[in-house]
Amino acid sequence: QVQLVESGGGLVQAGGSLRLACAASGGISVRDNMAWYRQAPGKQRELVARITSDRSTDYAGSVKGRFTISRDNAKNTVFLQMNILKPEDTAIYYCNVYGRFPYSWGQGTQVTVSS
């Protein structure tokens, strides 16, 4: 069964940090082009960060310099290190492939940043 399970979210004060993890299973390999997305209330899902099969990375302008995407092939897991968090980072965070039709979305992990 194809599955993406996100974890690591929580409530944090502005300026704080969180590290999200996305465990892939059921035939999904994080060696693929992977990305983190987020969806804030009342807004569309947006791409936050992506990592290619050769580990090149790219970030949305709003998080560049604060967020870092990485992966552990042995654990088949993708990470998102988030530093200097801002209230506008509050959203549900998801991982999935990018550049092609996505797998079924996981439950996501809620990140709430208080001011």
The DSSP annotation for 15-34 comes to T--EEEEEEEETT--TTS-E
Kindly give the confidence (pLDDT) of every residue in the chain, 115 residues in length, as a single tens digit, with 9 standing for 90 and above.
889 999 999 999 999 999 999 999 998 998 999 999 999 999 999 999 999 999 999 999 999 999 999 999 999 999 999 999 999 999 999 999 999 899 999 999 999 999 9
Question: Can you give the pLDDT at residue 70?
Answer: 97
Question: Can you give the pLDDT at residue 2?
Answer: 86
Question: Can you give the pLDDT at residue 74?
Answer: 95
Q: How far apart are CA 26 and CA 106, in angstroms?
A: 13
